[in-house]
Structure 1
Amino acid sequence: MSPSWQDLAADKKQRQAACIPKEWVITPPADTVLDVRTIPDECGLLTPKEVEITNTTDVQNILNNLATGKWSSLETTLAFYKRAIIAQQLVNCLTEIFIERALARAKELDEQLKATGKVAGPLHGLPVSLKDQLSMRGLETTMGWVSWIGKFSEHDAVVVQIIYDAGAVPFVRTNIPQTLMWAESYNMVFGRTLNPANRKLTSGGSSGGEGALIGMRGSPLGVGSDIGGSIRIPSGYNGLYGLRPSYHRVPYAGATNSLLGQDSIPSVLGPLSNSMSGIKVFMQAISAYKPWTKDPLARYAPWDASRYALAEHGGGKRLCFAIMWTDGMTTPHPPVTRALEMTKRALVTAGHKVIDWKPYRHKEICDTVYDVWTAASKDDYASVASMSGEPVLNTMEMEAEHGAPNSFLPAQDNVTAHQLWQFHKTKAALRQEYLDYWNSTSTMTGSGRPVDAIICPVSPYGGAPPHGHSRIVDYTAVWNGLDYATCVFPVTRVNATLDAKKPSHQFLNPRDKAHYEMWDLQTFWNAPIGLQLVGRCQEEEAVIAMTEIVDVALKKWNPSKL
């Protein structure tokens, strides 16, 4: 008799737990302790030097210390591994744990540096975490499906190959939701990932394990994927930086995925980090190893220094940013609006121009994105779940197996190929209209150029919402439909004094009313608030540079002026 799906899941969790050294097991705090981010520093497992290493958030500084031999790759990898295991015990963010393999790799890199005096590549010795769908040779790739337990990869995904070639040390894989198509991270194999700043809140999804791990400083740099916000939502919910590149900039070949064959709005891979330098060095490293020679879909795109220098944006001297205060469908909660106000004042103080952005046909764009996603999703999910008999989750509520159906993306039935083509035609037409709309702003900027970038919410929620309630992804999914390069940056966190509930406004629709009524300071206590900077299609270098400008402006500006 074949084992049940419950038995398969339990066995996998037991095997995962067995990978954790007993001396790394800590006594977890009570569930009433919500913010657990300082526990790694305080629990006694890390040495003072390991605390110093893991609290060094600037990835370029870590790389400099590794290149000069100030820190060995072995001690750096060990420090982050120990912190990652602490994070696992606090917020349940990991899937695959392979300590010996990672430490052996780090040791080899140290020996190479000592023997040659040269680094192995631009990411020499750097520990890098990977979302569970990024296949690694010899490791299981379940992607949150019980049906894929025992599915060992024979090859590394192309992006993993490049990360190795660049000298990095892949060291953990991280949790995701079943199907990947959720803005939270829960599945029947590994369970639920929690938010380190407030464990009653979600870490986001689908790269929620990455968001929580990096938010715990258990990894300096991670790789996630994004089809509708899956890098940016966890980045925003965990106070991180995260880049959604345009289609096919980062190679996807060899990775597992949901909705394989749906290529009108493809998922993209991109970095999450505690620093903008982490975002930049990752994209530079990937480009340097010519992914277009390894993945037939990867576009030819060497790192463009002139774009990073903002040659097409006046050299970055006096940029014009447009702030989108609302998408016209859901009004953001108070701390999100405050973050937009802070960013506007910081940019104006830094000498840039800021105007308002009126969303153009965002509902139609999002509806078309969801039409494409759901055209055959029901069959796709069922084909995998049927292999083990596990249920397809229709809710992210805390008691998911008992929760009422609550999917924010109900699948469509019997969509024909011709109907799908109509969705594609609509998307193409909307992209043309939006391009024309953006170009028309050249009359408003004072520079003769159209708006350089849009700044907008990552989500309408006042930070990460409670588990089961991260259902609105319009603020991120719209840019996937348009294929605009987008980068998230942290701004603030929920403040009991500044973020009191505002008087009710004229509601845009019933969902907007329900969203307004959801806001509560106690519920969203301590939640980080991030925003996203949106550039044009294939403008990754410029988006990185402009996000750096915004980030510096915010850090120089005095928020007490608000």
Structure 2
Amino acid sequence: MAPTWRQLVAEKKLRQEATIPNEWILPSLPPKDQLNITTFPESSGLLSSKEIDITQSHVDVLLANLANGTWTAVEVTTAFSKRAIIAHQLTNCLTEIFIDRAMARAAELDEHLKATGKVAGPLHGLPISLKDQISLKGIESTMGYVSWIGKFPEQNSVLVDVLEAAGAVLYVKTNVPQTLMWPETYNHIFGRTVNPNNRSLTSGGSSGGEGALVALRGSPIGVGSDIGGSIRIPSAFCGVYGLRPSTGRVPYSGCVNSLEGQDSIPSALGPISNSIFGLKAFMKAVIGQKPWLYDPLVIRKAWDEDAYALADHGRGEGGLCFGILWDDGDVRPHPPVLRGLRKVKEALEASGHKVIDWTPHKHKEIYEIGFSIWASGLSEDYYVTTEPTGEPVLTSMTLDEEDVLTAAKDVLPANAVLVPSTFVPGSGPNTVSAYTLWQRHKAKRDLRQEYVNHWQASAGRTGTGRPVDALISPVAPFVAPPHGKNTSANYTLVWNVLDYPALVIPVSRVDQELDTKQPAHKFLSEDDKANYEAYDPAIYRDAPVSVQLVGRTLEEEAVIAMAEIVDAALKVGA
């Protein structure tokens, strides 16, 4: 008799636990009522003072010290591996752990540097974590699906080969929601990933494992994916930097995925880090390997230093002009989010830049067309994948800790039932004709054209002779909410439909005195009313406040440069 899906989960969990070095399992963890555990790794007793120094360093320092031999690749890999295991014990952020493989790779890199005096590539010796869907030969990529347990890729994804060619060390993979199509992180195999800033709040999704791991400095750079906000939401919720590039800048070939064949609003891979330099280093290294030679969907576009110097934005001379999106016309953000936007505006203006209000153009229509394209085949996609094992398709992210603990013990959570995800509205068994789907694609194309025109028309208001250089937008109408309450990705999805690159910048944290609940405003919609009523600053204690900087299609270099300007302006006023 074939094993049940629950038996498969139990066996997989045992195999995962066996990959954690026993000497790294902590005898004492923070009590459950200690919600903010961001400083625990330093006091855990597992890390030496040198390992603390290594893991607290940003990517620029790490790469410099690896290149000059101050730190060996083995030392850096050991430090981040240990800290990743600490992070996992605190937040449940990892899926696959292959530290022995990473140590062997690090030792090879050290020998190379010793023998040649040269680094093996621009990321020489740098540990990089991967979202679970990124395939490595011989290591499972379950993506939260029980039916994919026991499937071992026969070759690497293109990105893995590219990163290793650039000198990176790959050592862990991170947790995701079942299906990937959730802005939170929970699945039947590995359970829930929590937010290290406040464990009662979600880490976001679908790259929630990466967000939590990077926030706890268990990884200097993590790779996530983003189809509707899945890099930016966990980056914002966990208080780190994250970049969703335009489609085709980073190779995706060889990864496992949901909705494969749906090419109208594709997922994009991108970096998450504790600094913008980390994002830039990743993009330059990956693009520098000419990934278009290995993935036919990658755009043949080398890293453009002229674009990074803001050649299309007056080279920044005389100041830039940013458009600021206060709300999307449908749901007004909570007080901490609005305070974050005001803080960015004040910092930019103090630094000599101009900020004008941005009017959202048909954002609700853009969300709806995006959802409708996905829903055209989403339900069938889920069922085809889960049918072999009969595992339930999740319809809620509200499973509590007891559910997580018992899911692998042959107990089915009460609200895990065999119906498709409700994250995508109207996602029932509603497969449509090809012609109907074409009309949705056409509507999306027309909306993209309208938005280009809308952006161009802003030239009359900027005072620079150019349209706005970039937009500053909320990442969500709230900071990281309690588990199961992140029901909207609209503030990020809009840029996926338009295929605009967007970079998350941490700004602040929820302040119990500054972020008090305000008197009710005139509600924009029923969703707006519900969002207003859900706010209580005490619930969101210690949650990071972030914004996203949005540029135009394939403007990754300029987006990174303008994000550096925003980040520097914020730090001047800090």
Scaled by the length of structure 1, the TM-score of the pair is: 0.98
Q: Which amino acid aligns with 1:89?
A: Q
SS of equivalent to 2:201: strand
Q: Which amino acid aligns with 1:532?
A: Q
Q: State the Cα deviation string for residues 162-211 of structure 1 (Å, max 9, x = none).
A: 00000000110000000000000000011000000000000000000000
Matches of 1:162 and 1:21, distance apart in 2: 28
Q: State the Cα deviation string for residues 446-504 of structure 1 (Å, max 9, x = none).
A: 0100000000100101x100000111111000000000011011000100010000100
Residue number in structure 2 paired with 1:447: 464
Residue number in structure 2 paired with 1:385: 386
Superposition deviation, residue 222 in structure 1: 0.6
Residue number in structure 2 paired with 1:417: 434
Q: Which amino acid aligns with 2:517?
A: K
Matches of 2:89 and 2:213, distance apart in 1: 11
Matches of 2:494 and 2:327, distance apart in 1: 13
Matches of 1:527 and 1:338, distance apart in 2: 13
Residue number in structure 2 paired with 1:254: 254
Residue number in structure 2 paired with 1:93: 93
Q: State the Cα deviation string for residues 308-349 of structure 1 (Å, max 9, x = none).
A: 000110111310001000001111000000000000000000
Matches of 1:63 and 1:522, distance apart in 2: 40
Matches of 1:505 and 1:490, distance apart in 2: 27
Residue number in structure 2 paired with 1:426: 443
Matches of 2:166 and 2:457, distance apart in 1: 42
Residue number in structure 2 paired with 1:214: 214
Residue number in structure 1 paired with 2:551: 535
SS of equivalent to 1:396: coil
SS of equivalent to 1:541: helix
Where in structure 2 are the equivalents of 1:99-498 lying within 5 Å?
A: 99-317=99-317, 318-399=319-400, 401-403=413-415, 407-409=422-424, 410-412=426-428, 413-461=430-478, 463-498=479-514
Matches of 1:389 and 1:116, distance apart in 2: 54
Residue number in structure 2 paired with 1:555: 571
C-alpha contact 2:232 2:243 (8 A) present in aligned 1: yes
Matches of 2:97 and 2:453, distance apart in 1: 48
Matches of 1:436 and 1:509, distance apart in 2: 27
Q: State the Cα deviation string for residues 423-462 of structure 1 (Å, max 9, x = none).
A: 100000000000001000000000100000000100101x
Q: Which amino acid aligns with 1:107?
A: A
Superposition deviation, residue 522 in structure 1: 1.4
Residue number in structure 2 paired with 1:499: 515
SS of equivalent to 1:96: strand
SS of equivalent to 1:491: strand
Q: State the Cα deviation string for residues 18-58 of structure 1 (Å, max 9, x = none).
A: 111111011222110101111110010000000111111x2
Matches of 1:434 and 1:390, distance apart in 2: 41
SS of equivalent to 2:348: helix
Matches of 1:510 and 1:366, distance apart in 2: 16
Superposition deviation, residue 398 in structure 1: 2.2
Matches of 1:19 and 1:386, distance apart in 2: 29
Superposition deviation, residue 407 in structure 1: 1.9
Matches of 2:15 and 2:316, distance apart in 1: 52
Q: Which amino acid aligns with 1:403?
A: N
Residue number in structure 2 paired with 1:75: 75
Matches of 2:431 and 2:445, distance apart in 1: 23
Matches of 1:391 and 1:516, distance apart in 2: 33
Residue number in structure 2 paired with 1:17: 17
C-alpha contact 2:74 2:107 (8 A) present in aligned 1: yes
Matches of 1:279 and 1:109, distance apart in 2: 22
Q: Which amino acid aligns with 2:529?
A: K
Q: Which amino acid aligns with 2:115?
A: A
Residue number in structure 1 paired with 2:46: 45
Matches of 1:132 and 1:408, distance apart in 2: 21
Superposition deviation, residue 402 in structure 1: 2.1
SS of equivalent to 1:202: coil
SS of equivalent to 2:297: coil
Superposition deviation, residue 403 in structure 1: 3.1
Q: State the Cα deviation string for residues 47-94 of structure 1 (Å, max 9, x = none).
A: 0000111111x2111100100000111000000000000111110000
Superposition deviation, residue 156 in structure 1: 0.7
Superposition deviation, residue 408 in structure 1: 2.5
Where in structure 2 are the equivalents of 1:1-12 lying within 5 Å?
A: 1-12=1-12
Once superposed, what is the RMSD of the aligned Cα atoms? Answer: 1.0
SS of equivalent to 1:87: helix
Matches of 1:536 and 1:446, distance apart in 2: 19
Residue number in structure 2 paired with 1:544: 560
Matches of 2:48 and 2:2, distance apart in 1: 46
Superposition deviation, residue 414 in structure 1: 2.8
The count of corresponding residues between Structure 1 and Structure 2 is: 556
SS of equivalent to 2:367: helix
Matches of 1:408 and 1:95, distance apart in 2: 23
Q: Which amino acid aligns with 2:538?
A: Q
Matches of 1:118 and 1:162, distance apart in 2: 19
Matches of 1:551 and 1:147, distance apart in 2: 43
C-alpha contact 2:181 2:423 (8 A) present in aligned 1: no
Matches of 2:374 and 2:487, distance apart in 1: 15
Scaled by the length of structure 2, the TM-score of the pair is: 0.96
Q: Which amino acid aligns with 2:208?
A: G
Unpaired segments of 5 or more residues in structure 1? none
SS of equivalent to 1:335: helix
SS of equivalent to 1:303: coil
Q: Which amino acid aligns with 1:502?
A: Q
Matches of 2:434 and 2:508, distance apart in 1: 46
Q: State the Cα deviation string for residues 329-380 of structure 1 (Å, max 9, x = none).
A: 1110000000000000000000000000010000001100001111101000
Superposition deviation, residue 557 in structure 1: 1.5
Residue number in structure 1 paired with 2:407: none
Matches of 1:209 and 1:252, distance apart in 2: 19
